[in-house]
């Protein structure tokens, strides 16, 4: 009987100890306040050499150094934890991780207003995109993410997206007729390529190389940096500089985690995020130039579109604007387009 009583008491102690443990995102030394420490697990899809991860390393170092160790950042690049942006965003929502850096296109599955940034040929250049994303329009949409349990910190950049395939150079929409085209996990992206005549469907980025290698898909689209860092030049022969979509990313955090941080750490986090944005965009543009040369050296055949050829794609994409105007809102679309002025 004494052994049984002792066993029961031991079990109670273990249960109470487990209930008293802090969650995986924070820990305390018992003092509270400035003694509290917080762990930020940041998972994303891109490889270590790509600009988002390079800037994330400096982001980590700044937060850890300037918080005097109260913030700890763990980086999980290259799809180590999640094979798609959607999975990573869901994990942040649920609090399974604290941060991710998804393509904005994937965020539209959680908040359809973000579809506005995926409209084809929306921005003429990087400066127009920055004007929209960093201005009132982008900040309003970031604030709206709080209703989805997410804290949008800043927008980053993957650059303009371009089309590749294994059949031949693409110079007009008719050249895409029947191509098995992989798209982002976004109905708007899929509809855009179907409007060009492709046989388009979404597929997880982490498994794309193998799908192209096996012939499951003939074609894809992504920014220059991802073509090179993911070695898609090994499984794609032709690259056309369509520039059909400016691909933004976003530094996302679990909203509850952010709100639980002390005010001084929130301020430090925002400061570090803004520095991340500046550094990452500069690196992204540098890498676009460097990696384009590397893609040619690796044997990809690259062609650009003339203004007239690009206009043919714009015309083919017009039905996409008509289809999504009701979901996105004509006002949001007009405000985004105004950034080109």
The mean pLDDT value for 140-151 works out to 97
Average pLDDT, the chain: 91
Report the candidate in 215, 220, 217 with the shortest Cα–Cα distance to residue 242.
220
The rounded Cα 261 to chain-centroid distance in angstroms is: 24
Alpha-carbon distance 288 to 309, whole Å?
Answer: 22
- Taking residue 49's Cβ as centre, other Cβ atoms within 10 Å add up to 14
Q: Would you say 59 and 73 are in contact if contact means Cβ atoms under 8 Å apart? A: yes
pLDDT band at 135 (very low <50, low <70, confident <90, very high): very high
Strand-pairing partners, residue 247, are 159
8 Å CB contact between 56 and 272: no
Would you place residue 26 in the very low, low, confident or very high pLDDT band (cuts 50, 70, 90)?
Answer: low
Query: Angle at the Cα of 232 (from 229 to 238), degrees rounded to 5?
Result: 125
What are phi and psi for residue 220, nearest 5 degrees? -160, 175
Residue 152: its H or E element: strand 150-165
**What local confidence, expressed as pLDDT, does residue 185 receive?**
82
Token digits of residue 156: 């980053």
How far is CA 95 from each of CA 88, 89, 111, 114, rounded to the nearest angstrom?
A: 10, 10, 18, 22
Residue 75 has what pLDDT?
Answer: 98
pLDDT of residue 34: 61
pTM across the whole model: 0.84
């Amino acid at each position: 009987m004494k052994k049984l009583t002792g066993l029961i008491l031991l079990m109670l102690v273990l249960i109470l100890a487990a209930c008293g443990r802090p969650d995986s995102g924070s820990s305390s030394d018992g003092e509270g306040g400035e003694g509290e420490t917080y762990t930020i697990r940041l998972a994303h899809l891109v490889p270590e050499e790509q600009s988002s991860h390079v800037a994330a390393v400096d982001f980590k170092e700044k937060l850890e150094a300037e918080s005097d160790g109260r913030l700890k950042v763990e980086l999980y690049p290259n799809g180590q934890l999640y094979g798609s942006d959607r999975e990573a965003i869901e994990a942040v929502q649920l609090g399974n991780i604290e941060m991710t850096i998804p393509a904005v296109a994937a965020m539209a599955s959680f908040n359809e207003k973000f579809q506005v940034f995926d409209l084809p040929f929306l921005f003429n250049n990087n400066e127009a995109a920055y004007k929209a994303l960093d201005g009132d329009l982008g900040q309003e949409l970031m604030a709206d993410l709080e209703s989805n349990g997410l804290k949008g910190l800043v927008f980053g950049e993957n650059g303009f997206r371009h089309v590749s395939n294994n059949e031949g150079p693409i110079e007009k929409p008719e050249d895409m007729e029947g191509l098995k085209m992989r798209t982002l996990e976004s109905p708007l992206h899929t509809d855009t390529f179907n409007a060009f005549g492709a046989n388009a469907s979404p597929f997880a980025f982490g498994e794309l190389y193998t799908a192209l290698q096996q012939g499951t898909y003939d074609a894809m689209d992504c920014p220059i940096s991802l073509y090179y860092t993911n070695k898609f030049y090994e499984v794609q022969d032709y690259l056309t500089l369509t520039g059909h979509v400016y691909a933004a990313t976003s530094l996302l955090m679990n909203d509850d985690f952010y709100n639980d941080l002390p005010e001084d750490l929130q301020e430090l986090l925002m400061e570090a995020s803004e520095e991340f944005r500046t550094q990452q965009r500069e690196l992204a543009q540098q890498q676009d130039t460097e990696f384009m040369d590397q893609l040619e050296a690796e044997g990809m055949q690259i062609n650009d579109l003339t203004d007239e050829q690009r206009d043919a794609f714009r015309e083919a994409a017009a039905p996409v604007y008509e289809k999504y105007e009701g979901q996105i809102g004509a006002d949001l679309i007009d405000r985004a387009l105004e950034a080109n002025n």
